[in-house]
Amino acid sequence: MQKTSSRLLALLSLLQARPEWSGDDLAERLEVTVRTVRRDIDRLRALGYPVATNKGPGGGYRLRPGSHMPPLLFDDEQVIALAVALQSTAHPAIAEDADRALATIRNVLPPRLRRRIDALHVTTVRPPDPGAPPAQALDLLTTVSTAIQRREELRLDYTPHQEAAPQRRRVEPHHLVAWRTHWYLLAWDLDRDDWRTFRTDRMTPRTPTGPRFTVRQVPGGDVSTFVTSRFRGSDGTDAAWPCQGEAILDLPASEVVPHTADAIVEPLGPTRCRVITGSWSWTALAASLGRFDANLHVIGPPALHEACATLARRYAAAATTEPGRLDAPNG
Same domain, 165 and 222: yes
Question: How many other CB atoms sit within 10 Å of the CB of residue 321?
Answer: 11
On whether both 256 and 275 belong to a single domain, the answer is yes
| 194-199 and 182-189 beta bridge pairing | antiparallel
pLDDT of 145 higher than 60: yes
Cβ partners under 8 Å of residue 214, min gap 6:
151
**Is 116 a residue whose pLDDT tops 80?**
no
Q: Over 60: is that where the pLDDT of 157 sits?
A: yes
Number of domains in the chain: 4
Better-predicted residue by pLDDT, 1 or 3: 3
225: pLDDT strictly greater than 90: no
pTM comes to: 0.50
Q: Are residues 189 and 255 in the same domain?
A: no
> Strand, coil or helix: what is 131?
coil
Identify which of 98, 77, 84 has the alpha carbon closest to the alpha carbon of residue 17: 77
- Give CA–CA dist 234/238, Å, rounded: 7
Residues 39 and 83 grouped into a single domain:
no
User: Is residue 216, in this structure, part of any structural domain at all?
Assistant: yes
* Domain assignment of residue 131, yes or no: no
pLDDT, mean of residues 153-166: 85
pLDDT value, residue 133: 45
Asked if pLDDT for residue 149 goes beyond 60, the answer is yes
Mean pLDDT of 14-38: 86
Confidence (pLDDT) at 114: 77
Looking at the structure, tell me whether residues 27 and 88 fall in a common domain. no
Is 205 found in the same domain as 162? yes
Asked if the model's pLDDT at residue 122 lies above 70, the reply is no
What is the C-alpha separation between 287 and 266, in angstroms, rounded?
20
pLDDT tens digits, one per residue of 191-213: 899 898 898 888 888 888 888 99
Kindly state whether residue 108 falls inside one of the protein's structural domains. yes
Is the distance from CB of 240 to CB of 280 less than 8 angstroms? no
Beta bridge partners of 155: 170, 206
Residue 217 lies in a domain: yes
Amino acid 209: pLDDT? 86
pLDDT in tens, 55-85: 766 568 888 765 444 565 677 777 778 777 7
296 shares a domain with 266: yes
Domain limits at 186? 138-232
Burial code (b: 16+ CB inside 10 Å, e: under 16) for 274-286 equals bbebbbeebbebb
How far are the Cα atoms of 25, 35, 43, 48, 63 from residue 19, in angstroms, in the given order?
Answer: 13, 21, 20, 18, 7
The CATH number assigned to the domain holding 14 equals: 1.10.10.10
Give the CATH number for residue 222: 2.30.30.530
Mean pLDDT of the chain: 80
User: What pLDDT score does 56 carry?
Assistant: 64
Q: Let me know: does 98 contact 82? Beta carbons within 8 Å.
A: no
Percentage of the chain lying above the pLDDT 90 cut: 15
Give the pLDDT of residue 131: 45
Average pLDDT over residues 137-151: 83
In this prediction, residue 331 has a pLDDT band, given cuts at 50, 70 and 90, of very low
Task: Name the DSSP letter for residue 251.
Answer: S
Strand partners, 183: 178
